[in-house]
Chains A and B, each alone.
Chain A
Amino acid sequence: MSTHAISDARVMLKRSLRHVTRSLDTIITVTIMPIAFMLLFVYVFGGAIQTGTDNYVNYLLPGILLIAIGSGVAYTSYRLFNDLKSGIFERFHSMPIARPSVLWGHVLTSVVSNAISVAVIVLVALIMGFRSSAGVLAWLAVAGMLVLFTLALTWIAVIAALSAKTQDGAAAFSYPIIFLPFVSSAFVPTDSMPGPVRAFAENQPVTSIVNTIRALFEQQPVSSDIWTALAWCVGVLLVAYVVALAAYRRKIA
């Protein structure tokens, strides 16, 4: 059975990726909002924001990428919810396949489709003047960090899809996640914020992730932020995975 697991997951990934590529509007929707934020912050608010760097796009990009992933995983939840509602989930479960592959197909699709939107946004940022001296290793580290972040959020999306009653409910979990970067070091340095807000901003996951990616792009030492960021991502990933599998077992019991 387990030998089938990988090939089954591959078939599921292929199916789900076709759903993504055949609804290009979802890719556009997922990338356009973060790009709009980037334009707004760079060309409208950017002049008034003091970050201590002369290139605000460089400062902004990590947070924008996290927002893009936050809204991207909402579609993962939406697609999984639709499968549950339509009955195709039941067909798969009545077939001689490795059952968890139905979840893994969606999870892997989430990683691939978010990677595509991240690439599109980085291209736009390059046009807007984003520059990085980072080497291959630093870029790989950034990619790894983003994949880890995507996986953590995707398993939260799986929980949302498995426990939601309506389509809107399945995507609603992403709103606070999209909002988190605004109360972090993503747009402005946290030391400009009043006490309690600053305390929240500095101790929530987005700040450590943003600081890590920013340092990697700037070829600066990543400090302890990288461990905090990794701890958050791996911690959330493990908890969300365990809860998602429990929700899945409840669903199919």
Chain B
Amino acid sequence: MQTHDPAITVRGLRKSYKDLQVLKGVDFEVARGSIFALLGSNGAGKTTIMRILATLLKPDDGAATVDGFDVRSQPAQVRESISLTGQFAAVDEILTGRENLVMVAELRQVRKPGQVADDLLARFSLSDAGGRPVGTYSGGMRRRLDIAMSLIGDPPVIFLDEPTTGLDPEARLEVWRMVKELATSGTTVLLTTQYLDEAEKLADRIAILHEGTIIVSGTLADLRRLLPPAKVEYVERQPSLEEIFLAIVGTKEGHR
């Protein structure tokens, strides 16, 4: 496999639930080793894209590849290449943190599952809590465990679905730090978020998903350039991503 190929490609992706069109032709690419943020409000279709890329859901139309494998025709290879964490990929609350890690290591056929689990517990500052049921963990600890579980077997692509939803600011910063570390070590990270500052701080590229299509995509600098110049004259500081988001979404809706 050529390392210049994108880690994820999505072309003309469509998905409807009965009469409700959730995705109306989504296109984007994610470069290897980068952090890509899918930004959008609730119901914009972020989770649907994640579920399709994770082979949990079949698209109605369009194509998607992950690590060079087609999500429709090579789902087993795709699953070898990815890890899914966050909002809808739960951890087992009755098992201890260590047992969760060992379970994933065994399912991924990793050598020495116990050793792998202990190393990860230490790396994520969970060694003391490793023997306690996950049900007793705080939100931040649970998310750390969740991310630790996704690293087992070194998958080249990690999906983080709303990784900091429900976390306090400190735990949020902690998760951000871990996500950046991942990308530095060469892992491709696709994350969804509804927090604009999260995308702004973390992502190399940002795509704004609105009503089933990507209305804009690029680096933060690209997006800044999209703001109407008339507005720029009035503000002295750089516009925040939040303003860009609201301006673009507002314009689109105004056209209809």
Chain A contacts to B: CB under 8 angstroms: 1, 4, 7-8, 11, 14-15, 18-19, 22-23, 86-88, 90-97, 252-253
- List 7 A–B pairs whose Cβ atoms lie within 8 Å, in order of A's numbering: A11-B103, A15-B95, A88-B92, A90-B56, A91-B90, A94-B55, A97-B79
- Residue numbers in B under 8 Å from A93 (CB-CB): 55-56
- Cα A153 to Cα B160 with chains together (Å): 38
Name the interface residues of B74-120: CB closer than 8 Å to any CB of A: 76, 79-80, 82-84, 87-95, 99, 103-104, 106-109
Which residues of chain B are near A18, meaning CB under 8 Å? 94-95, 99
Residue of A15, A22, A88, A96 most packed against chain B (CB within 10 A): A96
Q: Is the CB of B84 within 8 A of A94?
A: yes
* B166 smallest CB distance to A (angstroms): 14
Interface residues in chain B, defined as those with a beta carbon under 8 Å from any beta carbon in chain A: 51, 54-56, 58, 76, 79-80, 82-84, 87-95, 99, 103-104, 106-109, 133
Flag if A15 contacts B76 (CB, 8 Å).
no
Question: In the complex, what residues of A have CB within 8 A of residue B56's CB?
Answer: 90, 93-94, 252
Q: How far is the CA of A91 from the CA of B91 in the complex (A)?
A: 8
In the complex, besides A19-B94, A90-B90, 17 extra interface pairs with C-beta distance below 8 angstroms are: A4-B109, A8-B107, A11-B103, A11-B106, A14-B103, A15-B99, A23-B94, A86-B90, A87-B90, A88-B90, A90-B84, A90-B88, A91-B84, A94-B54, A94-B55, A94-B82, A95-B107
- With a cutoff of 8 Å between Cβ atoms, the chain B residues found around residue A252 in the complex are 56
Contact B94 A95 (CB under 8 A): no
Are the C-beta atoms of A96 and B79 separated by less than 8 Å?
yes
- Find out whether the CB atom of A90 lies under 8 angstroms from the CB atom of B89: yes
B84: which A residues are within 8 A, CB to CB?
90-91, 94
- Residues in B whose Cβ lies below 8 Å from that of A87: 87-90
- A15-B95, A18-B95 as given contacts; A94 in contact with B89, CB under 8 Å: yes
Of the candidates A1, A11, A19, A23, the one whose C-beta lies within 8 Å of that of B107 is A11
Asked if residues A97 and B99 are in contact (CB atoms below 8 Å), the reply is no
Which chain A residue lies CB-closest to B50? A94
- Nearest CB of B to A97, in Å: 5
Q: Which residues in B have their C-beta under 8 angstroms from that of A91? A: 84, 89-91
Q: Which of A4, A94, A252 has the most CB of B within 10 A?
A: A94
CA–CA, A7 to B106, complex, Å? 8
Contacting residues, chain B, for A11 (C-beta < 8 A): 103, 106-107
| Nearest CB in chain A: distance from B206 CB, A | 24
Q: Report the 10 A-B pairs with minimum CB-CB distance, sorted nearest first.
A: A87-B90, A91-B89, A94-B84, A94-B54, A88-B90, A96-B79, A86-B90, A96-B80, A87-B88, A11-B106
